[in-house]
Structure 1
């Protein structure tokens, strides 16, 4: 299968590399062309624009940072709309809101193409290992055609129905994850300030009912103050914002998520946006403990 791939950030690069390793012919494009170099070394071709990719390939995948980037690749100069046509499939794996997906879907289908949103649950390591969870929605026939690619990219694919459902599911998942990370950060700092060993807390948590892979993976590096970006904090905050907007649309009260969003915003104001989303831990650590009253 020959596919196109647009967007070679942390996730996009790992996914495209996986496709190459499994025998797919891949044509790539990225706004910063130098990010294509490593993929070219592994057999990828490079196109000069998103339009050139979709002209060449029957199926084009994208993994972009936010709604504005996703829309720009479709509607901007040399964008997808210039060459999408009958029989072509466009699969957007970016994490965006349902409204953005609907706008993209509408223009693709008007041009005779097929659209599928397919955001993923998972970060850098699962992307490298082909262990993502794919949350697809849109044209079911396209979903079935690209399952061979999804089976390389992920450990499980869900087909969720109409366009927008994939975006909504991803935002709910990331809202829960972001809220958990904040509570986890507060717990680690609370343990340390109370005279407990935070690493022992990790052992206790891992043996209980709230044991989970995120605590297991992130906890030791957080304690060490290491936040190498697997999922940048600025993107987590974007997802919290979009989830809260979905809450506004559906009249769902989300005070925990709102507080978590404020913590991620504070972390961004501290210059931590490019680090892993676990760096929100540093905002809790930065709060000075109350002075002792003698």
Structure 2
């Protein structure tokens, strides 16, 4: 029987081969919680990006100009750079993560927060927008379609 440390080393070799960094959270289930937490942050960023782009566009700033400013600012998350084409024209690209999947993530995350007794007011706002977008027919579209969805409410 292998020593636990040997097994950890074997697993680390596999994890390091498929990821940039392996972080041990030291308890069973912690990885799943962190997946939900990180996805919650991503969905919140996407919702805020949609609001920001809608405000910029309503003020006469082109989507491209607004995006250039955002990615050059302290607010830039790496995913904004590599998903730029989707955020600027979601309809011309393959779906990578649907609104329905994001809604499911946020529902599970909100339920977890309820069980843990933690507040998630921003997360619940994001969840509400995802539910609205899904009901409006955006469920099978990429998360980037949230910008398109938000534009529909702008006169």
Same fold (TM over 0.5): yes
1:252 to 108, 112, 118: 118
Structure of greater relative contact order (alpha carbons < 8 Å, 6+ residues apart): 2
Q: Give the secondary-structure state (helix, strand or coil) at the position aligned to 2:74.
A: coil
Q: How many residues align?
A: 153
Match of 2:35 in 1: 170
1:222 to 87, 101, 115: 87
Instruction: Give the drift of 1:288.
Output: 4.5
Q: Mark the runs of 5 or more structure 2 residues left unpaired by the alignment.
A: none
The structure with the greater share of residues assigned to helix is 2
Tell me how far apart the structure 1 counterparts of residues 102 and 57 of structure 2 sit (CA, whole Å).
26
Instruction: Give the drift of 1:142.
Output: 4.6
Q: Mark the runs of 5 or more structure 1 residues left unpaired by the alignment.
A: 1-86, 88-138, 290-294
Tell me how far apart the structure 2 counterparts of residues 181 and 147 of structure 1 sit (CA, whole Å).
32
The structure with the greater share of residues assigned to strand is 1
Question: CA distance change for structure 1 residues 141 and 251 in 2, over 3 Å: closer, same or farther?
Answer: farther
Q: Which has the larger radius of gyration?
A: 1
Normalising by structure 2, we get a TM-score of 0.85
Question: CA distance change for structure 1 residues 160 and 229 in 2, over 3 Å: closer, same or farther?
Answer: same
The answer on whether the counterparts of 2:90 and 2:144 sit within 8 Å (CA) in structure 1 is: no
RMSD: 2.3
The answer on whether the counterparts of 2:107 and 2:127 sit within 8 Å (CA) in structure 1 is: yes
Tell me how far apart the structure 2 counterparts of residues 142 and 269 of structure 1 sit (CA, whole Å).
47
2:108 to 218, 242, 245: 242
